[in-house]
Chain A
Amino acid sequence: MSKETDILDEITTSEYKYGFTTDIETDVIPAGLNQDTIRFISAKKNEPEWMLEWRLEAFRIWQTMETPDWQNVTFPEINYQDIIYYAAPKQKVSVNSLDEIDPELRKTFEKLGISLDEQKRLTGVAVDAVIDSVSIATTFKSKLYELGIIFCSMSEAIENHPELVRKYIGSVVPVKDNYFSALNSAVFSDGSFCYIPKGVRCPMELSTYFRINAANTGQFERTLIVCEENSYVSYLEGCTAPMRDENQLHAAVVELVAHEKGEIKYSTVQNWYPGDKNGKGGIYNFVTKRGICLGNKSKISWTQVETGSAVTWKYPSVILKGDDSIGEFYSVAVTNNFQQADTGTKMIHIGKNTKSRIVSKGISAGKSQNSYRGLVEVMKRADHARNFSQCDSLLLGDKCGAHTFPYLEVENPTAQVEHEATTSKIGEDQIFYCNQRGISTEDAVALIVNGYAKEVLKQLPMEFAVEAQKLLAISLEGSVG
């Protein structure tokens, strides 16, 4: 036992390797939130009047709401006046070529392994990078535009495609939905906008990287993805943040709309700074993500690998309105040290013959708390709905916790709902077995955890799957004891 604790002490200081900061000139406004802040943000972005009105209305609504208290995560009260709601790298507003981007910024993205370089299109991934609140570059825009696909920052979309934004924004996650969606609607900074026209299958993975750089800022991105009839898109979201002592808030809203026979695949690999090994600092990741299968035979699937954040609080959900529509949720949520997670999904069955599938793998280590919270709701007229849910928890060590809060609300007698749950831990015997075959303890844990998370990881597009595997291993370093 003593040998293992030595290794534990040694390795828990393993670095969060994305913890660096980028020294670039940043445009920041003073902290605080009032109507003027919102007018400022809107003006900075040259937004039309209707957008400003929308924001102001959201702000009014937010002011009437109270912070929720039902969650299974604890954090000190957030002082919303102590946050800076706009920060942007000081550089030219629009870039026509990547050479025009601040070299420091480019270096940041290189360090993160993100290539903004169009020449590297071998991977076939179109990348949009958002640093702090501003979308930096969207590669491959022109090539996609030839197909009628719009992939740009939210700010650009509001300027160039206002009718589309206006039609859909807030239609899946209404402003009033919850405290953080209201806040986001008032102060959202930027995000991605993606529109796939009828019959088009997006030929490449679309990807966005979010990075919170400036201190004391919150990042409130807003993403909207719309798939018209018979179209398909696969979208990847990756996130990192530098190590700081204070907590930073990330309250995003993501809305997905799939029309008839449209399919949206949304994958996230979240590696926000999780706080140090004593639980100091780290990102608060409070996100509202929801998709609506509007048309018949449409499909939305969420895949997430959450390894970072001090507190993760999110429920990517699917509203199955169209008949024969399908919703899927695949999740691996890792918590280590003092991290907390309260995450899961909501599948709302409204149309006929709808199907949903939930596979949630929680991994708890250190002194962390990991909760799965899921709702499967079958409405009265949702005939022949089918759901399968599997919630597994893996505990590493004896100081962490795993909790499951499944809610099943079934109002239709033809529904078929299945729920399975397991809880397990990695036994010393299993580790020793691996040791005896020449595999070190660290590698053994990685092997076992990856085997455990396999079903979820294989949902990820290949490029992400490899990174996610490595990320799992890193986030669990030193956790066996």
Chain B
Amino acid sequence: MLIIKDLEARVGEKEILKGINLTVNPGEVHAIMGPNGSGKSTLASVLAGREDYEVTGGSILFQDQDLLELSPEERAREGIFLAFQYPVEIPGVTTINFLKTAVNEVRKHKGLEALDAVSFLKMMKEKSKLVEIDQALLSRSLNEGFSGGEKKRNEIFQMAMLEPKLAVLDETDSGLDIDALRIVAGGVNKLRSPLNATIVVTHYQRLLDYIVPDFVHVLWNGRIVKSGTKELALELEEKGYDWVKAEASLA
């Protein structure tokens, strides 16, 4: 589904991604780990199409399409979802209204008719149970006054509503307590299917106890320097990143 080849990207003058290679197939969960500043969030942002990040080399194929040719909204409509690390607040726009607009854009793109209010509300009620999100929160302005946990749950709720092919979770566990973590991870797991894929960007092993990855990649200095299975994550938890950095430097 996703083929990233020799991807290079920079922000302003600073080169951050220096040659990423990654292939993600349907049904898979890939974890991207690495020390601070390694480029994890940059990778997530580049996949979403954030303008500040300039792609200077390489390619990204998503479902056989050149992803770099598509605008952020087109990528979203094709089925890419980014769960933001710091979800932004939009006063005056309710989550309901926001999602109705988004869901209907995606449907329009797929040639489907827009959902009427009744069907939409029904869908919302169903999906909100996945992340135990209070219906009352959804009538409020998007993320306004939400706690960290509520914001992250709202991200996963939106994911449930938009049913993406590829979900990129950017440090979804940051700022969450154990209970919130369990609920968020539970939601992500319930959405997993053989037809979609997930890239989980995280520092810590903790989240991966709940969202068990098929592959773990270590990103350091703009490159994926080591790949393995979920055992790799456990090893990192135990030993830290130094040994990986050392290995990479020697190579």
A439 lies within 8 A of B73 (CB): yes
Which residues in A have their C-beta under 8 angstroms from that of B48?
432, 436
Residue B50 CB within 8 A of the other chain: yes
Residue B118 CB within 8 A of the other chain: no
A427 lies within 8 A of B73 (CB): no
- Segment touching A, from B3-11, B18-26, B97-105, B236-244: B97-105
Report the separation of the CA atoms of residues A429 and B50 in the bound assembly, to the nearest whole angstrom: 10
In whole Å, how far is A391's beta carbon from the nearest beta carbon of chain B?
16
Residue A237 CB within 8 A of the other chain: no
Report the separation of the CA atoms of residues A426 and B152 in the bound assembly, to the nearest whole angstrom: 22
- Segment touching A, from B80-88, B119-127, B204-212: B80-88
Report the separation of the CA atoms of residues A433 and B94 in the bound assembly, to the nearest whole angstrom: 14
Contact of B101 (CB < 8 Å), options: A432, A439, A453: A439
Which residues in A have their C-beta under 8 angstroms from that of B91?
424, 451-452
Report the separation of the CA atoms of residues A433 and B95 in the bound assembly, to the nearest whole angstrom: 12
Contact of B50 (CB < 8 Å), options: A424, A432, A441: A432
B102 lies within 8 A of A433 (CB): no
B97 lies within 8 A of A447 (CB): yes
Residue B141 CB within 8 A of the other chain: yes
In whole Å, how far is B148's beta carbon from the nearest beta carbon of chain A?
16
Which residues in A have their C-beta under 8 angstroms from that of B82?
436
A433 lies within 8 A of B90 (CB): yes
In whole Å, how far is A429's beta carbon from the nearest beta carbon of chain B?
5
Which residues in A have their C-beta under 8 angstroms from that of B50?
432
Write out, one digit per residue, whether chain A residues 10-32 have a CB within 8 A of any chain B CB (1) or not (0). 00000000000000000000000
In whole Å, how far is A122's beta carbon from the nearest beta carbon of chain B?
22
Residue A440 CB within 8 A of the other chain: yes
B49 lies within 8 A of A451 (CB): no
Report the separation of the CA atoms of residues A434 and B95 in the bound assembly, to the nearest whole angstrom: 11
Which residues in B have their C-beta under 8 angstroms from that of A429?
88
Residue A47 CB within 8 A of the other chain: no
Residue B223 CB within 8 A of the other chain: no
B92 lies within 8 A of A452 (CB): yes
Residue B109 CB within 8 A of the other chain: yes
Given the known interface contacts A430-B88, A447-B101, the answer about A435 and B76 at a Cβ–Cβ threshold of 8 Å is yes
Residue B72 CB within 8 A of the other chain: yes
A432 lies within 8 A of B90 (CB): no
Residue B158 CB within 8 A of the other chain: yes
B98 lies within 8 A of A447 (CB): yes
In whole Å, how far is B108's beta carbon from the nearest beta carbon of chain A?
9
Report the separation of the CA atoms of residues A450 and B100 in the bound assembly, to the nearest whole angstrom: 15
A-B contacts, 27 of them at CB < 8 A, read A3-B51, A424-B91, A427-B88, A432-B48, A432-B72, A433-B87, A434-B73, A434-B90, A434-B102, A435-B49, A435-B71, A436-B73, A436-B81, A437-B76, A437-B99, A437-B102, A437-B105, A438-B102, A438-B105, A439-B73, A439-B102, A443-B101, A447-B93, A448-B93, A451-B91, A452-B91, A452-B92
B residues neighboring A (CB under 8 Å): 48-51, 71-73, 75-77, 81-82, 84, 87-94, 97-99, 101-102, 105-106, 109, 141, 158, 162
